[in-house]
């Protein structure tokens, strides 16, 4: 029996994810000057509110160094603001600044339009199934990683 990489589901998930991320990222980069990690940090803060860097690492599944660089870039661009974390003196709460919120509000319609364009090949039922399947796969991976 020979192994076919193109039939290996983790490979298919990875390449599909990378293709979608790269397509969307090219728009973020050209229109808004953001790289993927920077947009992911903004997306989490824009949809969930203030967070610590540790929580951003967990939410984005990016490594600490990548999140740190993204946060530094966004703070330097005045898109994020830091405030002291009274429950942990070693960390800060991060949130979108007014400028960051304005940019987030510009990006979201573009992101949603691109999602609609990419996913147009799927029916409403297929989209719902894909979402449910991906959630199950992520939960399984989380459970395996936690054991």
The residues that bridge with 82 in the sheet, in sequence order, are: 94
Domain locations in the chain as residue ranges: 12-107
- Alpha-carbon span 147 to 139, nearest angstrom: 12
Residue 54 near residue 90 (C-beta atoms within 8 A): no
Would you state the pLDDT for residue 146? 87
pLDDT 10s digits, 77-136: 999 999 887 777 677 899 999 999 999 999 889 889 999 999 999 999 999 999 999 999
Q: Which residue has 């029916």 as its token pair?
A: 123
Residue 38 near residue 96 (C-beta atoms within 8 A): no
pLDDT 10s digits, 13-47: 999 998 998 888 888 888 899 998 999 999 999 99
Helices (H) and strands (E) in the chain, counts: 6, 2
What is the full DSSP assignment across 33-65?
Answer: ---HHHHHHHHHHHHH--B-HHHHHHHHT--HH
Q: For the whole prediction, is pTM greater than 0.85?
A: no
Q: Domain 12-107 carries which CATH code?
A: 1.10.10.10
Residue 85 near residue 91 (C-beta atoms within 8 A): yes
């Amino acid at each position: 029996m020979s192994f076919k990489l193109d039939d290996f589901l983790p490979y298919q998930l990875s390449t599909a994810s990378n293709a979608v991320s790269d397509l969307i990222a090219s728009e973020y980069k050209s229109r808004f000057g953001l790289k993927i990690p920077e947009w992911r940090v903004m997306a989490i803060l824009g949809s969930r509110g203030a967070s610590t860097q540790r929580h951003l690492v967990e939410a984005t599944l990016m490594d600490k160094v990548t999140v740190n660089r993204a946060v530094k870039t966004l703070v330097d661009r005045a898109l994020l603001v830091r405030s002291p974390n009274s429950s942990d003196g070693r960390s800060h709460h991060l949130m979108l600044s007014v400028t960051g919120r304005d940019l987030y509000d510009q990006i979201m319609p573009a992101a949603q339009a691109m999602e609609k364009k990419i996913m147009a090949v799927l029916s409403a039922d297929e989209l719902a199934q894909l979402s449910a399947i991906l959630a199950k796969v992520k939960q399984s991976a989380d459970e395996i990683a936690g054991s």
